[in-house]
Chains A and B, each alone.
Chain A
Amino acid sequence: MSSTTTGWVRPKIEQNWLTRLLDWKPFLIIICLLPALGLLAVFLTYPLGLGIWLAFTDTTIGRSGRWVGLENFEFMFEDPIFWNAVFYSVFYTSVATIGKFGLGLWLALLLNNHLPFKSLLRAIILLPWIVPTVLTAVAFWWIYNPQFSVISWMLIELGLRDTNVDFINTAWPARWSLIAANIWRGIPFVAISLLAGLQTISPSLYEAALLDGSTAWQRFRYITFPMLLPILAIVMTFSIIFTFTDFQLVYAITRGGPVNSTHLLATLAFQRGIPGGQLGEGAAIAVSMIPFLVFATLFSYFALARRKWQQGESND
């Protein structure tokens, strides 16, 4: 019955041991960090190590493997399909990144003007990024259909072509089609992030440059671009990492075909590891992505370090 009264009376300074323990800072810190760090340690750090270990074993599904040293890697390096996947991963990442950032920057500059319905526009533009990738990939799969492609139909109606466009049934068209789909999905994120960056640039800089008689190109080159660079570096690092390790789009549209020509490293690792059952080999392919990611992360770190890092910033 004391509980009914404590609501009214000011809490006493005397507290029981549990309250005091929870108020003891070191204990509180550990309690607060435990769930997040525990989850990350068990499901992220440990599997990362386990993955590297698996790459040196001949584990298959249902049988724990033994240490085979570099055998997986030796096999991999002689495998033309692997080298094809490396080539396409690099090609896919570089072309898609250039496309995404070129078009995304353009869209951001367009949106930075005074426009009616600005927030509605931003909301609509983000839509491709919100909707599950696989579901839009299915839509692209249908758009790229060899028989009933709407793009082919349009081109034929306009008299630009006589036959249907072959989007995904031969190697190079399939590669370009996947890149186009990836760019389509990536533009909104890049545009909205860069727009945020553009809006932080003070208009007085442009006014000063205008008074000094600068041309439009000079204002872009010497004000907009350098001011945008820190955000550009972060967004680009994220984009590169997630494009390089992309899986969904390729798996949904071509599953690595035709004749393994559009395999990325991730889809190849999946194909060997899960349906193929060769967990060791799949892990070795996945591990071979790590050097690239480390490089991208270091790039990000140093780009970020040029400005103060987000969390460290308020310390002094």
Chain B
Amino acid sequence: MSATTEAEETQASAAPPSEAMAWDSKARRMVTIYLPLACFLIILLFPFYWMTITAFKPNAELYDYKTHNPFWITSPTLDHIRLLLFNTSYPKWLMTTMMVAIGSTILSLVSSTLAAYAIQRLRFTGSQYVGLGIYLAYLVPPSILFIPLATMVFQLGLFDTPFALILVYPTFLVPFCTWLLIGYFKSIPYELEECALIDGATRLQILRQITLPLAVPGLISAGIFSFTLSWNEFIYALAFIQSSENKTVPVAILTELVTGDVYQWGALMAGSLLGSLPVAIFYSFFVDYYVSSLTGAVKE
């Protein structure tokens, strides 16, 4: 399948096809490229569509597929969202999540910028190994760390506070951001810094006035990554936070909205939708940075 699409591409570019072949190739292109692509898109987007449509459906339609087509809403309602916003602490959860995400993003952005600068620009013996060590830190998954971290957080007196999360999230954000920023710093010509050094600038002046302004796109993409990763984090927030009002959105939806055997599916979906929106909006503003840095980080 994949090989045929490629053949298609190369043939099309290699020789200008005749009229009949052009039609043939158009039809084939339809079947080999657009059709599978459409299937992929439908499958990848369907859960979001389903989430959205459930969030606005009245209960009468939600649980009755006989008289109402489940793929459409006849009388949309805001009841589920109203329930969520006024009868639960959902706004509070959103605020907590936002605060944790912003706090840990700033913390990890500052420390990884400095670290990446030191490793990439202030070359020293063993800087490679420090880089390798930070890279390896990214391979340690949270599932191994949450139990010892829970005991640590408890002993530090941070249990059940958002500060625990702000301090712990950098463990997976710093390696990622440092890795990304090292790649970015490498793309900035070193000659610029040499010129400034010759003109008598100090290292800190160079970092502040030359390197950082040039690295803004890299910093933005590291920031977006950190923000989305901390917004999405689940296991630490589940293990370290106990009281309802300190929970983050992903944890709260699973533990607070599911009570007993009766699930409020409408409210659950509305909560998921509202919890996804900030990340999705944030992401849509910076999607080019995001895609290029994601692919850039992998490419090198």
**A, B: real partners:** yes
Question: Residues of A contacting B117 with CB < 8 Å?
Answer: 32
Does B299 contact A196, Cβ atoms closer than 8 Å?
yes
Question: Residues of B contacting A188 with CB < 8 Å?
Answer: 44
Does A269 contact B298, Cβ atoms closer than 8 Å?
no
Residue A11, interface by CB 8 Å: yes
Known: A22-B204, A28-B122. A105 touches B111 (CB 8 A): no
Does B283 contact A130, Cβ atoms closer than 8 Å?
yes
Q: A51-B144, A113-B9, A196-B298 known; 5 other A-B pairs, CB under 8 Å?
A: A31-B114, A107-B40, A148-B265, A293-B139, A311-B128
Does A197 contact B299, Cβ atoms closer than 8 Å?
yes
Residue A252, interface by CB 8 Å: yes
The residue on B at minimum CB distance from A284 is: B147
Residue B162, interface by CB 8 Å: no
Question: Residues of B contacting A279 with CB < 8 Å?
Answer: 147, 150-151
Does A123 contact B171, Cβ atoms closer than 8 Å?
no
CB of B148, distance to nearest CB on chain A (Å): 4
A247 to B130, CA, bound (A): 30
CB of A225, distance to nearest CB on chain B (Å): 10
A289 to B178, CA, bound (A): 26
Does B186 contact A314, Cβ atoms closer than 8 Å?
yes
Does A43 contact B144, Cβ atoms closer than 8 Å?
no
Residue B90, interface by CB 8 Å: no
Residue A114, interface by CB 8 Å: yes
Question: Residues of B contacting A110 with CB < 8 Å?
Answer: 2, 5, 33, 36-37, 40
Residue A167, interface by CB 8 Å: no
- Which residues of chain B in 1-34 are interfacial with respect to chain A, using CB atoms and an 8 Å cutoff? 1-10, 13-14, 33
Does A266 contact B143, Cβ atoms closer than 8 Å?
yes
Does A43 contact B272, Cβ atoms closer than 8 Å?
no
A114 to B239, CA, bound (A): 47
A282 to B295, CA, bound (A): 37
User: Which residues of A come within 8 Å of B, CB atoms?
Assistant: 11, 13, 15, 19, 22-23, 25-26, 28-29, 31-33, 35-37, 39-40, 43-48, 50-51, 54, 59, 103, 105-107, 109-115, 119, 121-128, 130-136, 138-140, 142-143, 145, 148, 150, 153, 184, 187-188, 192-193, 195-197, 200, 203, 206-207, 210, 215-217, 219-220, 224, 231, 234-235, 238, 241-242, 245-248, 251-252, 265-266, 269-270, 273-274, 279, 282-283, 286-287, 289-290, 293, 296-297, 300, 309-315
Residue B226, interface by CB 8 Å: no
The residue on B at minimum CB distance from A54 is: B148
Known: A113-B33, A123-B287, A247-B234. A274 touches B44 (CB 8 A): no
Does A105 contact B299, Cβ atoms closer than 8 Å?
no
Does A40 contact B250, Cβ atoms closer than 8 Å?
no
Q: Report the contact-size class of chain B (Cβ under 8 Å from the partner).
A: 35 or more
Question: Residues of A contacting B118 with CB < 8 Å?
Answer: 28-29, 32-33
A242 to B176, CA, bound (A): 14
Known: A43-B167, A312-B128. A142 touches B50 (CB 8 A): yes
Binary contact track B251-292/A, C-beta < 8 Å → 1, others 0: 101100000000001001101110110011001100110110
CB of B2, distance to nearest CB on chain A (Å): 4
CB of A202, distance to nearest CB on chain B (Å): 13
Residue B145, interface by CB 8 Å: yes
A313 to B147, CA, bound (A): 37
- Which residues of chain B in 114-151 are interfacial with respect to chain A, using CB atoms and an 8 Å cutoff? 114-115, 117-120, 122, 124, 128, 130-132, 134-137, 139-151
Residue B202, interface by CB 8 Å: yes
Does B14 contact A106, Cβ atoms closer than 8 Å?
no
Does B298 contact A313, Cβ atoms closer than 8 Å?
no
Known: A105-B2, A231-B298. A126 touches B136 (CB 8 A): no
Does A219 contact B250, Cβ atoms closer than 8 Å?
no
Does A315 contact B128, Cβ atoms closer than 8 Å?
yes
The residue on B at minimum CB distance from A193 is: B298
Residue B84, interface by CB 8 Å: no
What would be 10 A-B contacts, judged by CB atoms less than 8 Å apart? A132-B250, A135-B249, A143-B47, A145-B265, A210-B14, A270-B238, A273-B150, A290-B144, A310-B182, A311-B128
Does A40 contact B145, Cβ atoms closer than 8 Å?
no
